[in-house]
Structure 1
Amino acid sequence: MAKFLNTSATNYFLEELIKEAVDRVILISPFLKLNDRIKELLADKNRLKIDVRLVYGKSELQPPEIEWLKELTYIRTSYCKNLHAKCYISEELCVVTSLNLYEFSQINNNEMGVLIRRSEDADLYRDVYEEAQRIIRISEEVRISLERPNGEVVEDVRPDNSIAGGVIAKLTSSKLSRRLGIPTNELLDRAVSAGYFDLINGEHVLSALGENSGIVFVPKSRHGAYL
């Protein structure tokens, strides 16, 4: 059963949601300016290699957020045009609220929300989680790694593809994992979580979403099957 949250309770359960997560964290907020406590909690999730998705949509990231996010491999940031929803999810808890993930709002505004526990209301949790996944799918992932000649860090929202002569070149899973700096097995696990593959009898099977996204399964080569 959903539980009503006032301002202080919303902030409390937001922190608890992040702190207790052991598998995934999804943070959807139009405005993004993190306070130090949230940054500490998210940095700890990054050290534990827990997948974190940040989705924002109302303004460009500010330099402090850009600098902080640059070194956090397991925190992926996406931009969603016309985003107005505020929703925070772990594998067990979900908070749907008026609260932006914005330092000023957390301190000064009067907010409210509802807390949903997956163990108590699996159907409602699933509905919110699926909508959050839809928002992630329509968002553009932001790679925070570019610097202008004057040293200013800027956001790059282009898809991370190799482009030569205007043609997008496909990457094998091993090359993509090296580019991202993660093991191939972890890359495939993330792809399963995102819905690009199904795991059937221990084998990775390309899903309809993966096929529509341009992923290709090559069944035979001199190195065996690869993606």
Structure 2
Amino acid sequence: MAKFLNTSATNYFLEELIKDAKDRLILISPFLKLNDRMKELLADKNRLKIDVRIVYGKSELQPEEINWLKELTYIRTSFCKNLHAKCYLNEDLCIITSLNLYEFSQVNNNEMGVLIRRADDTELYKDGYEEAQRIIRISDEVRISLERVVIEPSNDHKLEPDERLGKLTTSKLAIKLGVNTTQLMKNFVASGVLEIKEDKHYLSTKGKEIGGEFRMGSYGTYFLWPENF
């Protein structure tokens, strides 16, 4: 059953949601200005190589946020035009709230929210998660250099344990090579590493020979590639 949250409870459960994330963390907030505690928690997720997606939409990133994000490989930031939703998820919890991920709001404003536990409200959690994924798909990823690139709405969102064994998802490989995911997928098709059938990408024989793998994860299908590709 969903749980009502007042201001203090929203801040408390948001912190717990971030701390308890083991595979996936999604933070959607129009305004983004992180306090020191949030930065500490997110930096720890980055050290653990947990895939973190932050989506914002109301203003450009502040210089302090830009400098901080430069150090974090596993935190990806996206800009979504006309974003007004505030939603925070890990693999078990979802918070839908009026609270922005903004230092001033967390200290000064009166907020409300609802906590949804996946184990108790599976369908409600699923609806929130799917809408969060839609927002991510329509967002523009912001590189550390602040260059915006449109991400192909692929399903290689989840950081799987395989990545820690020398293989990267397409999006992580694209970041490493300094290109956007869409262009990398086009290059794979042009070189025969991937094939397109019925508007879907498939791993070719050549792709398999160079070490590419197709996987089905908890959050959908995705490709893995050798880290030294």
TM-score range, shorter chain: 0.7 to 0.9
Equivalent position SS for 1:135: helix
Shift of the alpha carbon at 1:217? 3.2
Shift of the alpha carbon at 1:219? 2.6
Instruction: Give the TM-score, by structure 1 length.
Output: 0.72
How many angstroms apart in 2 are the aligned matches of 1:120 and 1:53? 24
How many angstroms apart in 1 are the aligned matches of 2:22 and 2:64? 27
Aligned twin of 1:220? 206
| Deviations 1:132-182, CA, capped at 9 Å, x for gaps | 0000000001101x3xxxxxxxx1102489xxxxxxxxxxxxxxxxxxx98
| Deviations 1:19-41, CA, capped at 9 Å, x for gaps | 01111100000000001000000
In the TM superposition, 1:119-198 aligns within 5 A as: 119-144=119-144, 146=145, 155-159=146-150, 185-187=167-169
- Partner AA of 2:52 in structure 1: V
Shift of the alpha carbon at 1:206? 8.8
Structure 2 gaps, min length 5: 153-162, 174-193, 213-222, 224-229
Aligned twin of 2:46? 46
Change (3 A) 1:206 1:69: farther
Contact 1:28 1:88 in 2 (8 A): yes
Change (3 A) 1:219 1:127: same
Aligned twin of 2:74? 74
Contact 1:27 1:55 in 2 (8 A): yes
How many angstroms apart in 1 are the aligned matches of 2:97 and 2:127? 15
- Partner AA of 1:83 in structure 2: L
How many angstroms apart in 1 are the aligned matches of 2:211 and 2:166? 14
How many angstroms apart in 2 are the aligned matches of 1:128 and 1:99? 16
- Partner AA of 1:82 in structure 2: N
How many angstroms apart in 1 are the aligned matches of 2:205 and 2:117? 42
Change (3 A) 1:72 1:190: closer
Equivalent position SS for 1:158: strand
Shift of the alpha carbon at 1:185? 2.7
Equivalent position SS for 2:205: coil
How many angstroms apart in 2 are the aligned matches of 1:94 and 1:122? 11
Superposition CA RMSD, Å: 3.1
Equivalent position SS for 1:45: helix
How many angstroms apart in 2 are the aligned matches of 1:188 and 1:84? 29
Equivalent position SS for 1:116: strand
Instruction: Give the TM-score, by structure 2 length.
Output: 0.72
Structure 1 gaps, min length 5: 147-154, 162-180, 192-204
Contact 1:99 1:112 in 2 (8 A): yes
Aligned twin of 2:31? 31
Change (3 A) 1:11 1:222: closer
What's the % identity of the aligned pairs? 68
Contact 1:219 1:225 in 2 (8 A): no
Shift of the alpha carbon at 1:186? 3.4
Contact 2:34 2:102 in 1 (8 A): yes
